[in-house]
Structure 1
Amino acid sequence: MDNKLKIREVCGDYALDIPFADGSVNTIYFNSKRNAENVKRIIEIDGSKPNHATVCEMEEIRHGKWEFEKDICGCAWFTCTNCHKYIIMAKHRLYPYCPYCGAKMEVENG
């Protein structure tokens, strides 16, 4: 088995194939070759262990909801249930994440 990391082009995107000791392969997709090469380099250097040299910070995903407060001149005032900061935006264009705390907003069906 070839244990080398491989980057390949897939429909205009780039895939990084990461082989495991048991013979299985995990594939991660990227929108640029440069991003794929950076992750490949980090895995090769770091041995795929998260540490201070890893490019991104890993943290738990926070969740919240937009709570409607009031209507101001055709725009709505919403408060994030996670950080309690407010934002004014159109009701039909609610952000999927809070720009202040990064909480992922739950989609309300209704």
Structure 2
Amino acid sequence: MSFNGAVAFYSVFHIPREEHPELFRRVYDWLQPGGYLLCTLTGFGEEAYTEDDFFGVTMYWSNYGLEDYKEILTRVGFNILETTMIGHGYTEPHHVPTENHPLVLAQKPSAGRRTA
């Protein structure tokens, strides 16, 4: 099974960051040549931590910084097409109203092309 695109909004950084390279490798393998990955990441790295009351539930975070993510995606084989900053995505007031996340558009090369 393969896909033309994959999307991961505000989710990657909620799994252990040590698993992120393997996650992106799997997504790369699932995509058809020329397929796209669109995902929100984080601009700075943080060791694993939890927040006890994140909209009423305990939430886990673990992430690398944007430059590390770009390196991981490139090493896996993606071409980084665009990176821009977007808002936090909350629909109600939150304690970090100015939080922004990098939105990354990456593409698996077409058949016969590899970047790394």
TM-score by length of 1: 0.23
Structure holding more helix per residue: 2
Structure holding more strand per residue: 2
TM-score by length of 2: 0.23
Over alpha carbons, which structure has the higher Rg?
A: 1
